[in-house]
């Protein structure tokens, strides 16, 4: 009996290995892009977002940080550009040129990067921004930013990482929320949660929160 049991266990283990290998082979055979294709797209992204994904301070059109971004959020936003739920003429062209199967690989690449923040924000505003981030503004119905973005502002799943984000980019997005996000009300994503919050912040509060977030590593 022991020999039969051992033989059965061995056969089961071998079958399991065969199925795993077969599954991997099938996945490899169905891949629609090569490693060379992926590296070419990463290179294209980093032409603007910089090699380490830290973003770029560029006048009135700051380029956002991608480094350390949540993979689910990263993929969702590229899909939003493709579906015109988020409108940006340049990013529409970029996202449409991507193989849909490549999105997870791109998201993983940038998620694993961790450069120092670019900086450049007024340091004297950071304390006020920290209070808003941690405690919100109850009288304006603005909840703590940390409740969704995490205590270190590194995001969670669909909620983006804000730590180290470019200072003027954060200001631009928060001050122009209706023009930046939620441009297809019939198909909203998690960004719809932010609309009343962005509207609840005045100019000085936006700058304070942006200064604090941009300083975080």
Q: Are 107 and 148 in contact (CB under 8 A)?
A: no
Provide the CA 114 distance to its chain's centre, in angstroms. Answer: 13
Confidence (pLDDT) at 31: 64
181 vs 163 pLDDT, higher one: 163
Residue 26 has pLDDT above 90, yes or no: no
Residue 211 has pLDDT above 60, yes or no: yes
Place of tokens 């590229």: 78
Confidence (pLDDT) at 83: 87
18 vs 60 pLDDT, higher one: 60
CA 56 vs CA 53, 62, 117, 190: distances in Å: 9, 6, 10, 25
Confidence (pLDDT) at 30: 60
18 vs 130 pLDDT, higher one: 130
192, 49, 74, 109: CA torsion to nearest 10 = -170
Domain ranges of the chain: 35-215
210, 57, 174, 121: CA torsion to nearest 10 = 20
- Please give, one letter per residue, the 3-state secondary structure of 33-68: CCHHHHHHHHHHHHHHHCCCCCCECCCCCCECCCCC
Count of other CB atoms within 10 angstroms of residue 90:
10
Confidence of residue 24 (pLDDT cuts 50, 70, 90): very low
**Rounded CA gap, 62 and 64, in Å?**
6
pLDDT one-digit tens code per residue, 90-143: 899 999 889 999 999 999 999 999 999 999 999 999 999 999 999 999 999 999
pLDDT, mean of residues 186-196: 81
End-to-end CA distance of the chain: 61
Confidence (pLDDT) at 88: 85
36 vs 30 pLDDT, higher one: 36
Name the region of 54 (left: φ>0; alpha: ψ -120 to 50; beta: rest). alpha
Q: If you ran DSSP here, which 8-state letter would residue 70 be given?
A: -
Confidence (pLDDT) at 184: 73
Angle between helices 71-82 and 89-96 (to 10 degrees): 100
35-215 — its CATH code? 1.10.760.10
Q: What percent of the chain has pLDDT over 90?
A: 66
pLDDT one-digit tens code per residue, 43-56: 999 999 999 999 99
């Amino acid at each position: 009996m022991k020999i039969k049991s051992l033989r059965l266990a061995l056969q089961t283990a071998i079958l399991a290995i065969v199925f795993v290998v077969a599954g991997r082979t099938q996945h490899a055979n169905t891949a629609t892009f090569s490693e060379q294709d992926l590296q070419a797209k990463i290179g294209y992204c980093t032409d603007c977002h910089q090699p380490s994904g830290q973003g770029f301070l560029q006048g009135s059109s700051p380029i956002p940080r991608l480094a350390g971004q949540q993979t689910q959020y990263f993929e969702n936003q590229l899909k939003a550009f493709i579906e015109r739920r988020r409108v940006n003429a340049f990013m529409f062209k970029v996202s449409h040129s991507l193989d849909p199967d490549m999105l997870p690989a791109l998201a993983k690449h940038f998620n694993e990067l961790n450069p120092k923040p670019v900086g450049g924000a007024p340091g004297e505003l950071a304390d006020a921004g920290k209070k808003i981030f941690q405690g919100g503004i109850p009288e304006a119905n603005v909840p703590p930013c940390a409740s969704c973005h995490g205590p270190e502002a590194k995001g969670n799943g669909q909620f983006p990482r804000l730590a180290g984000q470019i200072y003027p980019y954060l200001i631009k997005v928060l001050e122009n929320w209706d023009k930046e996000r939620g441009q297809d009300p019939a198909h909203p994503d998690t960004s719809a949660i932010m609309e009343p919050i962005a509207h609840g912040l005045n100019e000085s509060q936006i700058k304070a929160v942006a200064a604090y977030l941009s300083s975080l590593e």
